[in-house]
């Protein structure tokens, strides 16, 4: 009986094992293993997208056909605080032109030197003059600037610069020469900016060079400097001073090139005398784009207070001291209300010598502090 029971148990276990083995052949599609990767459904084919045709845009650099907008006249604020912004570099790219180099000055003086005087006559120098009466402030300054001030033995009472010239004897006022005192100095050259005493000096046996004072083109100052370098036999030093003058003027003109108009200006040379057309200062105004209220004056004239009030300048240059700001007649002038009355620190703008460019620079910094720091 036990054997039969054991045999039946073996048969049941065997049958169960066979059943389980058959279950392992169940199709894979009916069972998803936990670790199996599910394949993503296939994506539909991509539909090609045609981009719109690109518009061809041609970019060109726009350069103004006219100068950049004018600098506004000084508003109701003190002129020294007014900042005028230079043209934005994004607006226009202006090429910087380099001037052709000037031929080098000769290392040694070359004589004879022939100079055409104010009357069109030739004055010939076979050697440099050793004793010069320079009856002209500009010539005194030129000779000292090129290192030849020791040749100056006489001048007039109105020479103010350089300090070394203070010891030079004076032989008269600007238009009133003491001929006897001049002869007593035994000069081998007398320079005059006017010819009133030319014949008297020549009758006394003196050599005279007369050339009228520069009055309408301050760029010729450099030429005068070179001329005196040739006369005294020092062209190298003269060329250095002349070139410096020209480079500084060029810096100012280049800075102002993109502007068309600035504030209106009145210059008081004393007792309301003012410069107009045909003067050195008018050329300075043109370079700095200042609008001279004395536009209808030629040379120098004394104008009326009523005309000054009518034309209402935005800037006043008081060459020899401010006598306008405190005058009730001018209390409503734009320049007075804005405290835009400029008193120069020197007489540089009155003398066509090497310092003249310093006067232009000082005025430019005062009127346009944003352009000329």
* Residue 104: C-alpha distances to residues 227, 238, 244 (Å): 15, 12, 14
Q: pTM of whole model > 0.75?
A: no
pLDDT tens string 156-196: 999 999 999 999 999 999 889 999 999 999 999 999 999 99
What is the C-alpha to C-alpha distance for residues 33 and 284, in angstroms, rounded to an integer? 98
- What pLDDT is stored for residue 278 in this prediction? 95
C-beta neighbour count of 295 within 10 angstroms? 12
Q: Residue ranges of the domains in the chain?
A: 113-241, 259-342
Q: Is the distance from CB of 363 to CB of 343 less than 8 angstroms?
A: no
Residue ranges in the chain modelled with pLDDT below 70? 1-107
Task: Return the sign of the alpha-carbon dihedral for residues 349, 352, 355, 361.
Answer: positive
Domains 113-241 and 259-342 alike in fold: yes
What is the Cα–Cα distance from 266 to 252, expressed in whole angstroms? 21
Strands (DSSP E) found in 166-256: 172-173, 176-177, 189-192, 208-210
Structure-token pair, residue 53: 């045709």
At residue 335, the 3 state secondary structure works out as: helix
Phi first, then psi, for residue 274 (nearest 5°) are: -145, 150
Encode pLDDT of 188-211 as tens digits: 999 999 999 999 999 999 999 999
Residue 107 has a pLDDT of 56
Nearest residue to 348 via CA among 334, 366, 363: 363
Torsion of CA 304, 266, 359, 209, to 10 degrees: -40
Angle, nearest 10°, between helix axes 356-367 and 235-256?
20
pLDDT of residue 106: 52
Has domain 113-241 been given CATH number 3.40.50.1980? yes
Cα separation, 222 vs 246, in Å, equals 7
Q: Which candidate, 160, 185, 186, 188, places its Cα nearest to that of 171? A: 185
The Cα-based distances of 289 to 70, 78, 104, 276 in angstroms read 9, 19, 34, 14
The DSSP letter of residue 41 is P
Query: Which regions of the chain does DSSP assign to beta strands (E)?
Result: 113-116, 122-125, 132-135, 152-154, 172-173, 176-177, 189-192, 208-210, 264-268, 273-275, 291-292, 300-302, 315-318, 341-342
Q: What share of the chain in percent tops pLDDT 90?
A: 69
Q: What is the reported pLDDT for 51? A: 38
CB 156 within 8 A of CB 170: yes
CATH architecture, range 259-342: 3-Layer(aba) Sandwich (3.40)
């Amino acid at each position: 009986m036990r054997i039969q029971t054991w045999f039946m148990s073996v048969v049941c276990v065997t049958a169960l094992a066979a059943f389980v083995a058959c279950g392992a052949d169940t199709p894979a599609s009916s069972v998803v293993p936990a670790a199996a990767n599910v394949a993503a459904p296939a994506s539909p084919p991509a539909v090609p997208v045609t981009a719109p045709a690109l518009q061809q845009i041609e970019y060109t650099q726009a350069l103004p056909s006219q100068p950049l907008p004018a600098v506004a006249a000084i508003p109701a604020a003190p002129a020294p605080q007014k900042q005028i912004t230079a043209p934005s570099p994004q607006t226009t790219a202006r090429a910087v032109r380099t001037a052709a180099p000037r031929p080098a000055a000769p290392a040694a003086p070359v004589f004879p030197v022939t100079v055409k005087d104010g009357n069109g006559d030739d004055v010939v120098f076979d050697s440099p003059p050793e004793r010069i009466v320079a009856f002209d402030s500009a010539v005194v300054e030129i000779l000292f600037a090129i290192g030849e001030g020791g040749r100056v033995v006489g001048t007039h009472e109105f020479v103010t610069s350089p300090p070394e010239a203070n010891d030079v004897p004076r032989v008269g006022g600007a238009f009133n020469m003491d001929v006897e005192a001049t002869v007593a100095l035994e000069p081998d050259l007398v320079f005059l900016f006017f010819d009133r005493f030319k014949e008297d000096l020549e009758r006394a046996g003196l050599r005279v060079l007369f050339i009228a004072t520069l009055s309408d083109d301050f760029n010729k100052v450099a030429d005068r400097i070179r001329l005196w370098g040739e006369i005294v036999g020092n062209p190298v030093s003269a060329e250095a001073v002349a070139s410096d003058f020209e480079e500084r003027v060029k810096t100012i003109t280049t800075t102002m090139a993109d502007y068309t108009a600035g504030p209106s200006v009145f210059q008081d040379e004393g007792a309301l005398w003012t410069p107009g057309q045909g003067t050195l200062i008018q050329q300075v105004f043109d370079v700095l784009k200042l609008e001279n209220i004395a536009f209808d004056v030629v040379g120098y004239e004394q104008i009326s207070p009523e005309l000054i009030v009518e034309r209402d300048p935005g800037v006043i240059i008081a060459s020899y001291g401010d006598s306008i700001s405190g005058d009730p007649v001018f209390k409503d002038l734009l320049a007075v209300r804005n405290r835009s009355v400029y008193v120069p620190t020197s007489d540089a703008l009155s003398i066509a010598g090497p310092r003249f460019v310093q006067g232009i620079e000082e005025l430019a910094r005062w009127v346009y502090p944003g352009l000329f720091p």
